[in-house]
Homo-oligomer: A and B are copies of this chain.
């Protein structure tokens, strides 16, 4: 690779793909950069779709990072919308392209370097009727525009959201914001599988304030009688609804590359090195189809989220075009707004740590988002997960304010390999409107450090007066 690259083909025009294309263009101005995007939009804010549904974001165009002409006209990127790649031939260095009906450009397309940035695809559980016209997923802007039109038509009074993961919760909030009565149906006995039970309980209480929540319950069938209403069978009981949103998880859209022998994890996410190279020569993978190096686990893990999609796209495009870049890895940081609640996590939950075979302990603290006397202070739930020797393994936060960005202190601590005693010693910011004098993160770390034998233990508890 490198100076000899003449054409880079990118499969997927999302965050990873357009980051790759733009980075490659900067590194190699003379390179032919072709992006094949199956949908009708590129470089849009996929994570904004729930807010577009609820009307918080008024127009679909608001989600576009750049005007449609930006890539073609200003960046010299051959962005082809409505263009599918149906096969990759690594030996011939070709992909097979199917363009829009009647358009040029179908057939084989040669590449010197290929970036697969095809993202993740929604899982549709094997429930009869989930292929009907009033059943939606929250994964593409094309589909979201159809859903929003339906919501705007005023014919949707009730909706079922299948799945209480973070996408399901965001979808529920979006639909509720559009004035729809929402019922969340989740087969597991709890919401938000990527946090531990004590934090999930806080989330569930907030969700129940705004929606009907059916946990440990299955959607058995959806029947479309052809009229405006659907019949959904939930836990064996038939109920009328106007809409079903499926948010039952995603899977890596990696089939094209696995078919030609690319190495992958059991979950079908693609294995890559720090330069985003797959095991297939001259083929890179970036974004939600790739497994990434998890700094806490010390091995690749598949956690499809936006920031890494952007960053790994940039690395893949840079390296594919002959430049130098590398991706350092992830620690599993994520945040979600659930109605009035901010819920954040990083590293490993206790459940994840135990599933990985690690000895781990958790401490929980409920502190406040502001000084006790400052109006508007909200409870802030903090959970720290640490090894017996005090090394931080992860953290979780939930509260009506101050959770979203506070998680980043713990994410940074994970990158640095800090112990809970190290965290207890951090010089964090304080002023009455923004934190108690012992920040909730410090309060949790002090408590955790007290349970680790090698530290000064019980003498670490906060003693007296906030300022």
Contact = CB atoms under 8 A, between A and B. Distances in A.
A14 interface: yes
A411 B433 contact: no
Contacts of A323: 456, 459
**How many of these chains are in the complex?**
2
A22 interface: yes
A165 to B, nearest CB: 14
A18 interface: yes
Nearest to A50: B432
B404 A427 contact: no
Contact of A416 (B18, B407, B412, B438): B412
A177 to B, nearest CB: 12
A109 interface: no
A210 interface: no
Interface centre among A422, A435, A456, A464 (most CB of B within 10 A): A464
Interface in A48-92: 48, 51, 56-57, 62-63, 65-66
A408 B428 contact: yes
B310 A462 contact: yes
Interface string A422-445: 100111111111110111011000
A325 B412 contact: no
A247 interface: no
Contacts of A412: 409, 412-413, 416, 418, 426, 428
Interface string A317-358: 110000111111111111111000010101000000000000
A63 B335 CA distance: 33
Given A458-B26, A465-B18, A467-B15, A346 B429 contact: yes
Nearest to A459: B318
Interface stretch (A39-47, A215-223, A381-389): A39-47
A342 B434 contact: yes
A2 to B, nearest CB: 14
B374 A56 contact: yes
A305 B425 CA distance: 15
Contacts of A404: 429, 431, 433-435
A334 B435 CA distance: 12
Nearest to A412: B412
A45 B429 contact: no
B431 A47 contact: yes
Contacts of A57: 373-375
A38 interface: no
Q: Which of A51, A57, A426, A456 has the most CB of B within 10 A?
A: A426
Most chain B CB inside 10 Å of its own CB: which residue of A26, A51, A405, A426 = A405
Interface string A363-376: 00000000111110
A373 B408 contact: no
Contacts of A300: none
Contacts of A96: none
A19 B66 CA distance: 54
Contacts of A415: 416, 418, 422, 425-427
Given A306-B437, A411-B429, A48 B336 contact: no
Interface in A85-144: none
B22 A463 contact: yes
The interface centre, meaning the residue of A14, A23, A331 with most chain B CB atoms within 10 A of its CB, is A23
Contacts of A317: 463
Interface of A: 14-15, 17-23, 26-27, 42-48, 51, 56-57, 62-63, 65-66, 295, 305-310, 313-314, 317-318, 323-337, 342, 344, 346, 371-375, 402, 404-409, 411-413, 415-416, 418, 422, 425-435, 437-439, 441-442, 456, 458-467
Given A17-B464, A327-B425, A333-B427, 4 more contacts: A23-B463, A307-B439, A309-B467, A412-B428
27 contacts: A18-B463, A19-B465, A26-B459, A42-B465, A45-B437, A48-B374, A51-B433, A57-B373, A63-B373, A65-B464, A295-B427, A307-B430, A310-B438, A310-B465, A318-B456, A323-B459, A334-B431, A335-B431, A346-B429, A402-B405, A405-B434, A408-B409, A408-B428, A411-B426, A411-B427, A413-B416, A416-B418
